[in-house]
Chains A and B, each alone.
Chain A
């Protein structure tokens, strides 16, 4: 399968703490993307990291990519209750994208 797999499946933290989610994949990729999904809604793109990049930042988000290990991590710093959502990684090759099963993050106020 070309899908990524996120780990952990579920994560519960206190507001203000950092949240780290991991993604592993199996095939060669052009890029890896992270998305967020609030319950019952569509996905929202967070950040894209290309295969020749190792780290990328966007606000409170930090993404790393290790192509030798075929893995990526998403770090959300200083979490807020509004960060409660499911987070998915997606691997892209050409015009196709394959999503993982997601990490459900709960941030407790």
Chain B
């Protein structure tokens, strides 16, 4: 069966520090991969999605970036975190064709101090 792992579960970082969040999927090949951010009590904002290795589409201009170095690995990064980067970050995957559900990891709670 397919599983998705996201880590760390919680992270506290100072303003201006770098960020690296990792997401890996097991049990499937060539998935579509997604990064979302959820502000407290709000809906999900699509940040990035990828349909293949090295293929990244950005939805929102920001100081975050994403990379997909391997088929089932998706990384969210920042060189310098801002206070506004605080939030709940969720990684998800779906089968690589339309009309398919998304499967989410348990998220990373990021707090910027």
CB of B98 within 8 A of CB of A94, answer yes
**Chain A window 24-58, contacts with chain B (Cβ cutoff 8 Å), 1 for yes, 0 for no:** 00000011010100001111110010100000000
Q: State the majority secondary structure of interface residues on B.
A: strand
Chain A min CB distance to B110 (Å): 13
Chain B residues with CB under 8 Å of A48's CB are 99-101
Task: Give CA–CA (A78, B105) in the complex, Å.
Answer: 29
CB of B98 within 8 A of CB of A92, answer yes
CB of A30 within 8 A of CB of B99, answer yes
Interface residue count for B (Cβ, 8 Å)? 28
CB of B107 within 8 A of CB of A42, answer yes
A77 within 8 A of B: no
Task: Give CA–CA (A60, B40) in the complex, Å.
Answer: 29
Name which residue of chain B comes closest to A43, CB basis.
Answer: B104
CB of A95 within 8 A of CB of B46, answer no
CB of B34 within 8 A of CB of A42, answer no
The A/B interface has a contact count, at CB < 8 Å, of 63
CB of B90 within 8 A of CB of A95, answer no
Interface residue count for A (Cβ, 8 Å)? 25
Which of A3, A50, A95, A101 has the most chain B CB atoms closer than 10 A to its own CB?
Answer: A95
B74 within 8 A of A: no
Q: Which residue of the partner chain, among B32, B43, B49, B106, contacts A41 with CB atoms under 8 Å?
A: B106
Chain A min CB distance to B62 (Å): 17
Chain B residues with CB under 8 Å of A96's CB are 46, 49, 59
CB of B34 within 8 A of CB of A31, answer no
CB of A43 within 8 A of CB of B99, answer no
Task: Give CA–CA (A44, B46) in the complex, Å.
Answer: 16
Task: Give CA–CA (A102, B92) in the complex, Å.
Answer: 18
Q: Which 3 A-B pairs have the closest CB atoms?
A: A42-B104, A45-B101, A101-B43
